[in-house]
Protein backbone atom coordinates (compact mmCIF):
# COMPACT_ATOMS: atom_id res chain seq x y z
CA UNK A 1 0.00 0.00 0.00
CA UNK A 2 1.28 3.43 -0.92
CA UNK A 3 1.75 5.98 1.84
CA UNK A 4 -0.27 8.53 -0.13
CA UNK A 5 -3.22 7.59 -2.34
CA UNK A 6 -4.64 9.92 -4.97
CA UNK A 7 -7.04 9.23 -7.80
CA UNK A 8 -5.20 10.01 -11.05
CA UNK A 9 -8.41 11.00 -12.86
CA UNK A 10 -8.73 12.50 -15.38
CA UNK A 11 -11.35 14.86 -14.05
CA UNK A 12 -13.24 17.06 -16.50
CA UNK A 13 -15.42 19.93 -15.31
CA UNK A 14 -17.12 22.89 -17.00
CA UNK A 15 -15.74 26.35 -16.49
CA UNK A 16 -17.06 27.93 -13.30
CA UNK A 17 -17.56 24.63 -11.47
CA UNK A 18 -16.28 23.90 -7.99
CA UNK A 19 -13.56 21.28 -8.13
CA UNK A 20 -12.82 18.92 -5.28
CA UNK A 21 -9.53 17.03 -5.20
CA UNK A 22 -8.49 14.76 -2.39
CA UNK A 23 -5.92 12.36 -1.02
CA UNK A 24 -5.71 9.82 1.74
CA UNK A 25 -2.60 8.82 3.59
CA UNK A 26 -1.53 6.12 5.99
CA UNK A 27 1.38 7.59 7.93
CA UNK A 28 0.15 9.40 11.03
CA UNK A 29 3.55 11.08 11.38
CA UNK A 30 2.79 13.43 8.51
CA UNK A 31 2.30 16.94 9.89
CA UNK A 32 2.70 19.30 6.93
CA UNK A 33 0.43 19.06 3.92
CA UNK A 34 0.84 20.63 0.53
CA UNK A 35 -0.77 20.91 -2.86
CA UNK A 36 1.28 21.39 -5.99
CA UNK A 37 0.11 22.25 -9.48
CA UNK A 38 2.01 20.87 -12.45
CA UNK A 39 1.43 22.00 -16.00
CA UNK A 40 2.37 19.55 -18.70
CA UNK A 41 6.11 18.80 -18.69
CA UNK A 42 6.83 21.64 -16.26
CA UNK A 43 8.12 21.59 -12.72
CA UNK A 44 5.49 21.39 -9.97
CA UNK A 45 4.71 24.68 -8.23
CA UNK A 46 3.58 25.00 -4.64
CA UNK A 47 -0.05 26.13 -4.29
CA UNK A 48 -0.92 25.57 -0.66
CA UNK A 49 1.07 24.71 2.45
CA UNK A 50 -0.69 23.84 5.69
CA UNK A 51 0.24 22.52 9.08
CA UNK A 52 -1.84 19.90 10.90
CA UNK A 53 -5.64 19.89 10.73
CA UNK A 54 -7.87 22.72 9.60
CA UNK A 55 -8.63 24.90 6.61
CA UNK A 56 -6.59 27.40 4.67
CA UNK A 57 -7.91 29.69 1.98
CA UNK A 58 -5.99 31.53 -0.72
CA UNK A 59 -8.10 33.24 -3.35
CA UNK A 60 -10.12 30.62 -5.20
CA UNK A 61 -8.26 27.77 -3.48
CA UNK A 62 -9.13 26.16 -0.14
CA UNK A 63 -7.11 23.38 1.44
CA UNK A 64 -8.60 21.17 4.14
CA UNK A 65 -6.83 18.68 6.36
CA UNK A 66 -8.56 16.10 8.55
CA UNK A 67 -5.83 14.27 10.41
CA UNK A 68 -8.29 12.06 12.29
CA UNK A 69 -9.43 10.60 8.97
CA UNK A 70 -6.03 10.94 7.28
CA UNK A 71 -7.73 12.84 4.47
CA UNK A 72 -6.83 16.08 2.72
CA UNK A 73 -8.72 18.07 0.13
CA UNK A 74 -8.22 20.96 -2.24
CA UNK A 75 -11.22 22.93 -3.45
CA UNK A 76 -11.07 25.23 -6.46
CA UNK A 77 -13.93 27.70 -6.80
CA UNK A 78 -15.00 29.28 -10.09
CA UNK A 79 -12.66 27.00 -12.01
CA UNK A 80 -10.98 28.45 -15.10
CA UNK A 81 -9.48 26.80 -18.19
CA UNK A 82 -6.10 27.99 -16.91
CA UNK A 83 -6.59 25.68 -13.92
CA UNK A 84 -6.23 22.71 -16.25
CA UNK A 85 -3.19 20.89 -14.89
CA UNK A 86 -2.18 17.97 -12.72
CA UNK A 87 -2.62 18.55 -8.99
CA UNK A 88 -0.35 16.66 -6.62
CA UNK A 89 -0.94 16.32 -2.93
CA UNK A 90 2.16 16.07 -0.80
CA UNK A 91 3.05 15.71 2.83
CA UNK A 92 5.98 15.54 5.20
CA UNK A 93 6.86 14.82 8.79
CA UNK A 94 7.83 17.50 11.27
CA UNK A 95 11.43 18.52 11.69
CA UNK A 96 13.77 20.33 9.41
CA UNK A 97 14.59 19.37 5.86
CA UNK A 98 12.25 16.41 5.75
CA UNK A 99 11.61 14.50 2.55
CA UNK A 100 8.21 15.16 0.96
CA UNK A 101 6.05 12.27 -0.19
CA UNK A 102 3.80 12.92 -3.19
CA UNK A 103 0.57 11.47 -4.45
CA UNK A 104 0.49 10.40 -8.09
CA UNK A 105 -1.45 13.52 -9.06
CA UNK A 106 -4.96 14.13 -10.42
CA UNK A 107 -5.22 15.44 -13.95
CA UNK A 108 -7.84 18.19 -14.17
CA UNK A 109 -9.36 19.62 -17.33
CA UNK A 110 -11.61 22.68 -17.15
CA UNK A 111 -13.69 22.95 -20.28
CA UNK A 112 -14.65 26.44 -21.51
Partner 1 sequence: DSGVTQTPKHLITATGQRVTLRCSPRSGDLSVYWYQQSLDQGLQFLIQYYNGEERAKGNILERFSAQQFPDLHSELNLSSLELGDSALYFCASSGWTQGYTFGSGTRLTVV
Which residues contribute to the site for partner 1 (CB under 8 A)? 8, 32, 34, 36, 41-46, 49, 88, 90, 96-97, 99-105
CA distance 92 to 29: 8
Q: What angle do CA 21, 7, 29 make, to 5 degrees?
A: 80
Q: Which is nearer to partner 1, 14 or 59 (CB)?
A: 59
How far apart are CB 48 and partner 1 at their closest, in Å?
A: 9
DSSP character for 80?
-
Q: Is the C-alpha dihedral spanning 80, 24, 52, 89 positive or negative?
A: negative
Q: Which is nearer to partner 1, 3 or 66 (CB)?
A: 3
How far apart are CB 49 and partner 1 at their closest, in Å?
A: 5
Q: Which is nearer to partner 1, 12 or 16 (CB)?
A: 12
C-beta separation of 7 from 96 below 8 A:
no
CA distance 13 to 9: 12
How far apart are CB 16 and partner 1 at their closest, in Å?
A: 29
How far apart are CB 95 and partner 1 at their closest, in Å?
A: 8
Amino acid sequence: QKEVEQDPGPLSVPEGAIVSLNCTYSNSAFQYFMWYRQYSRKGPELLMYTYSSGNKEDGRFTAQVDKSSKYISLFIRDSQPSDSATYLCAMRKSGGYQKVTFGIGTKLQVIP
